[in-house]
A and B are shown apart, each in its own frame.
Chain A
Amino acid sequence: MIKDKVKKIIGKVKRLTSRFHEMNILLVLIVLIISFAILNNRFISLGNITNLLRSTSIIGVVAIGMTFVIISGGIDLSVGSVLALSSVIAAKLMVSGVPVFLSIIISLATGALAGLLMGIIIYEARVPPFIVTLAGLSVFRGIAMLLTDAKKIVGLPESFANFAVMRVFGLPAMAIVWLVLIIIGVVIARYSVFGRNIFAIGSNPEAARLSGINIRATIYKVYALGGFTSAVAGILMATRLCGGSPSAGSGYELDAIAATVLGGTSLTGGIGGVFGTFFGTMIIATISNGGNIMGINPFVLEIIIGILIVLAVVFDHLQKRRGI
Chain B
Amino acid sequence: MVLENKEIIRMEGISKQFPGVTALEGVDFQIHAGQIHGIVGENGAGKSTLIKILTGALQPTSGDIFVDGKKVIISDPIVARNLQIGAVYQDLTVARNLNVAENFFLGQIPKNRFGFVSWRKMTKKTAEVLKELNIEVDPNMILEKLTAAQKEMVLIAKQYFKKYKVVIFDEPTALLTSKDTEELFRIIKKLKKEGVGIIYISHRIEEVFEICDTVTVLRDGKKIACIPINETDIDGLISRMVGRNIDNMYSITHQPLSKEVLRVENLSKTGVFKNVNFNVNRGEIFGLFGLVNSGTTKIARAIYGSEKFDKGSIYIDSKNVRITSPSRAVANGIGFLPEDKKTEGLAIKLSVRHNINLSSYSNISRMGFVKRKLENKNALQQVESLNIKTPGIEQIVLNLSGGNQQKVVLAKWLVNQCKIFIFEEPTAGIDVGAKEEIYKILELLIKKGSAIIMISSYLPEIMGIADRITVVYEGTQMGTLSRDEFDEKKLLQLASGVNLKEDNIR
Partner of A192, one of B326, B354, B370: B370
A270 close to B329 (CB less than 8 A)? no
Enumerate chain A residues within 8 angstroms of B372, measured Cβ to Cβ: 191
What is A's interface to B at a CB cutoff of 8 Å? Answer: 18-19, 187, 191-194, 196-197, 199-200, 203-204, 206-214, 266, 270-271, 323-324
| CB of B192 to closest CB in A, whole Å | 42
Q: Does B365 touch A at the CB level, under 8 Å?
A: yes
A212 close to B346 (CB less than 8 A)? no
Partner of A193, one of B338, B350, B368, B394: B368
A212 close to B330 (CB less than 8 A)? yes
B362 close to A211 (CB less than 8 A)? no
**Bound CA–CA A214/B344 (angstroms):** 15
| CB of A267 to closest CB in B, whole Å | 13
**Bound CA–CA A148/B345 (angstroms):** 51
**Bound CA–CA A106/B357 (angstroms):** 37
Enumerate chain B residues within 8 angstroms of A211, measured Cβ to Cβ: 326, 330, 358-359, 412
> Nearest B residue to A208 by beta-carbon distance?
B347
Partner of B347, one of A193, A204, A266: A204
Which 7 pairs from chain A and chain B are nearest by CB? A212-B330, A203-B347, A211-B359, A212-B327, A193-B361, A270-B349, A203-B349
Enumerate chain A residues within 8 angstroms of B349, measured Cβ to Cβ: 203-204, 266, 270-271
Enumerate chain A residues within 8 angstroms of B97, measured Cβ to Cβ: none
**Bound CA–CA A213/B416 (angstroms):** 13
What is B's interface to A at a CB cutoff of 8 Å? Answer: 304, 306, 326-327, 329-331, 336, 338, 343-350, 354, 357-359, 361-362, 365, 368-370, 372, 394, 396, 398-399, 412
**Bound CA–CA A200/B326 (angstroms):** 15
Given known contacts A193-B368, A197-B361, A204-B343, A213 and B327 CB-to-CB distance under 8 angstroms: yes
**Bound CA–CA A199/B327 (angstroms):** 17
Enumerate chain B residues within 8 angstroms of A192, measured Cβ to Cβ: 365, 368-370
Partner of B348, one of A18, A196, A203: A203
> Nearest A residue to B340 by beta-carbon distance?
A206
A193 close to B346 (CB less than 8 A)? no
Listed by A's residue number, 30 A-B pairs whose Cβ atoms lie within 8 Å are A191-B369, A191-B370, A192-B369, A192-B370, A193-B365, A193-B370, A194-B368, A196-B354, A196-B358, A196-B361, A200-B347, A203-B348, A203-B349, A204-B346, A206-B343, A207-B348, A207-B358, A208-B358, A209-B326, A210-B304, A210-B326, A210-B338, A210-B345, A211-B326, A211-B358, A211-B359, A212-B327, A213-B327, A270-B347, A270-B350
Given known contacts A210-B326, A212-B331, A324-B398, A199 and B369 CB-to-CB distance under 8 angstroms: no
Most central of A19, A187, A213 by chain B CB within 10 Å: A213
Enumerate chain A residues within 8 angstroms of B345, measured Cβ to Cβ: 207, 210
Partner of A200, one of B327, B336, B358, B396: B358
Enumerate chain B residues within 8 angstroms of A206, measured Cβ to Cβ: 343-344
B359 close to A213 (CB less than 8 A)? yes
> Nearest B residue to A196 by beta-carbon distance?
B361
B306 close to A210 (CB less than 8 A)? yes
Enumerate chain A residues within 8 angstroms of B343, measured Cβ to Cβ: 204, 206-207
Partner of B399, one of A187, A204, A323: A323
> Nearest A residue to B301 by beta-carbon distance?
A210
> Nearest A residue to B331 by beta-carbon distance?
A212
| CB of A207 to closest CB in B, whole Å | 5
Enumerate chain A residues within 8 angstroms of B398, measured Cβ to Cβ: 323-324
**Bound CA–CA A313/B505 (angstroms):** 54
**Bound CA–CA A271/B396 (angstroms):** 11
> Nearest A residue to B337 by beta-carbon distance?
A210
**Bound CA–CA A172/B365 (angstroms):** 35
Most central of B304, B370, B398 by chain A CB within 10 Å: B370
Enumerate chain B residues within 8 angstroms of A266, measured Cβ to Cβ: 349
Enumerate chain B residues within 8 angstroms of A199, measured Cβ to Cβ: 347, 350, 354
**Bound CA–CA A206/B326 (angstroms):** 11
| CB of A286 to closest CB in B, whole Å | 29
Most central of A206, A211, A270 by chain B CB within 10 Å: A211
| CB of A7 to closest CB in B, whole Å | 17
**Bound CA–CA A157/B127 (angstroms):** 76
| CB of A266 to closest CB in B, whole Å | 8
Given known contacts A193-B362, A199-B347, A270-B350, A209 and B306 CB-to-CB distance under 8 angstroms: yes
**Bound CA–CA A197/B372 (angstroms):** 15
Enumerate chain B residues within 8 angstroms of A187, measured Cβ to Cβ: 369
Enumerate chain A residues within 8 angstroms of B396, measured Cβ to Cβ: 323
Given known contacts A209-B306, A211-B412, A200 and B344 CB-to-CB distance under 8 angstroms: no
**Bound CA–CA A266/B347 (angstroms):** 14
B350 close to A200 (CB less than 8 A)? yes
> Nearest A residue to B327 by beta-carbon distance?
A212
Enumerate chain B residues within 8 angstroms of A193, measured Cβ to Cβ: 361-362, 365, 368-370
Most central of A187, A193, A208 by chain B CB within 10 Å: A193
> Nearest B residue to A18 by beta-carbon distance?
B394
| CB of A265 to closest CB in B, whole Å | 12
Enumerate chain A residues within 8 angstroms of B370, measured Cβ to Cβ: 191-193, 196
Question: 13 new A-B pairs (CB below 8 Å) besides A203-B347, A210-B345, A213-B358?
Answer: A192-B368, A192-B369, A193-B361, A193-B365, A199-B347, A203-B348, A203-B349, A204-B347, A211-B330, A211-B359, A212-B331, A266-B349, A270-B349
